[in-house]
A and B are shown apart, each in its own frame.
Chain A
Amino acid sequence: MCIVRRDITLAMRRRTDILTTLFFFIIVASLFPLGVGSEKEILRFLGPGVVWVAALLASMLALERLFASDYADGTLEQMLLTPQPLSVLVLGKVCAHWLLCGLPLVLIAPLIGLQYGLDGTALAVMMAALLIGTPVLSLVGAIGAALTLGLRGGGILLSLLVLPLYIPVLVYGAGAVTVSAIDLADVQPFMALLAAFLILALAFSPLATAAALRISVE
């Protein structure tokens, strides 16, 4: 996909954007052990939730930029006028966005998890859950980003719109990690639900985002 390659090239020429998201994630997640003390039991208890909330906020932070620069320099309206289906272009952009902002979070998450004293299985489950969950965040967030495009104070509005929609992913994502610590429990239902969210988001989010973009560009 041409658009994926374009967005990745663009991001590589302006690397600060990716790094800020990643460092935001690391710093937010590292503040908690400093704040609540180094009690091992508490940290292990808090860990999954904190990592997921930090991932949520970090991907929120990156969302604003998803369409903003394309909107500002007119490339977005050119995209609307190409003979390609807009929803496919949107999917391409979201893919690139996830590769740049979501995947690094997934890869760095085990390091964060170690700060919370999570063990090997919990870390593996967390990575897997993030791997399935973060694309959902990007896809759902894209709808919000498209809707708030070009509005003043769009950033705050975007978080108000999108964060409530992230709740199911948060609940099942963090739930999977917590449950993995219990011997008898099975994480499979959590993963299956996350995967179901992903499939739903993959199917509907590009269409909704494309419609929202048409409204915003008008």
Chain B
Amino acid sequence: MQHADARLQVAALEVQRGDRRLFSGLDFTLVSGELLHVRGPNGCGKTTLLRALCGLLLPQAGEVLWNGTSIRRLGEEFTRDVIFLGHLNGIKQELNGIENLRVAATLDGDQVDDAAIWDALKQIGLAGFEDLPTMVLSQGQKKRVALARLLLSGAKLWILDEPFVALDRRAVALLEALIVAQVGRGGLVVMTTHQEVALTSGTIRTLDLGGPVRGG
């Protein structure tokens, strides 16, 4: 499945948390087939930037544009194209992997049958754990349940906040392959990680957020 061309544009973005300005005047454009690797020391606003990109956080100034239109104006048309995996896994402890993914897929508006969900969980390395409530799974396994959404979703833009945390080496390799495939089929990926990702196709761009800027 090849994605149509898409463009994520950030114009003069400024974000403050409390009275601390994290960054200002941030500009970049990301097009289909590109991966943006956001780097910087702890506390420089990487997570905040990602939350602003997906519209969870309202920036003080500037705009995030998706295909040339502000994401505020697009609303649900933008959220259909984006998948965000943050520090919180966004899965319910009381539900098992299958139920979690089924709810997520229905809410995302994806037509996914149970076979596809079983298959995704198997691919992500959770065969045999499908019908256990996720509260009995380990941190890494919970993360895998969350990552299985990447397999099921047709979103063009992936926003991943430290996706490699808590994963073992095989899962890291698997996730790297998923990211490569997403970029390869013309998707966009924005991620923060302290790890280098090797792409076989597409371009990697890096954005270095400076140290925390004081004052404001």
Report A's interface with B, CB cutoff 8 A. 2-3, 6, 9-10, 13-14, 72-75, 77-85, 89, 217-218
Contacts and interface: CB of A to CB of B under 8 A. Distances in A.
A78 B108 CA distance: 9
Given A2-B103, A82-B107, A218-B58, A73 B79 contact: no
B93 A73 contact: yes
Q: Identify whether the interface residues of A are mostly helix, strand, loop, or mixed.
A: helix
Contacts of B109: 82-84
Contact of A75 (B56, B77, B80, B90): B90
Nearest to A82: B107
Contacts of B95: 6, 9-10, 13
B76 interface: yes
Nearest to A218: B57
B106 interface: yes
B24 interface: no
Interface of B: 54-58, 76-77, 79-80, 82-84, 86-95, 99, 103-104, 106-109, 133
A2 B103 CA distance: 7
A77 B76 contact: no
B56 to A, nearest CB: 6
A83 B109 CA distance: 7
Nearest to A75: B90
A13 B133 contact: yes
B88 A10 contact: no
Contact of B107 (A3, A14, A217): A3
Contacts of B104: 78
A74 B56 contact: no
30 contacts: A2-B103, A2-B107, A3-B103, A6-B92, A9-B99, A10-B94, A13-B95, A13-B133, A14-B94, A72-B88, A73-B89, A73-B92, A73-B93, A74-B90, A75-B91, A77-B88, A79-B107, A80-B56, A81-B54, A81-B56, A81-B79, A81-B82, A81-B83, A83-B77, A83-B79, A83-B109, A84-B107, A84-B109, A217-B56, A218-B57
Contacts of A217: 56
A83 B88 contact: no
Given A2-B106, A74-B86, A80-B55, 17 more contacts: A2-B103, A2-B107, A9-B94, A10-B94, A13-B95, A14-B94, A73-B91, A73-B93, A74-B90, A75-B90, A75-B91, A77-B84, A78-B90, A81-B56, A83-B76, A83-B77, A84-B107
> Across chains A and B, which 3 residue pairs bring their CB atoms closest together, nearest first?
A74-B88, A83-B80, A74-B90
A85 B76 contact: yes
Contacts of A82: 79, 107-109
Contacts of A9: 94-95, 99
Nearest to A78: B90
B22 to A, nearest CB: 14
B90 A77 contact: yes
B56 A77 contact: yes
B183 to A, nearest CB: 21
A14 B135 CA distance: 13
Contacts of A83: 76-77, 79-80, 108-109
B76 A73 contact: no
Contact of B103 (A6, A72, A73, A77): A6
B188 to A, nearest CB: 15
A196 to B, nearest CB: 31
B160 to A, nearest CB: 13
A13 B100 CA distance: 14
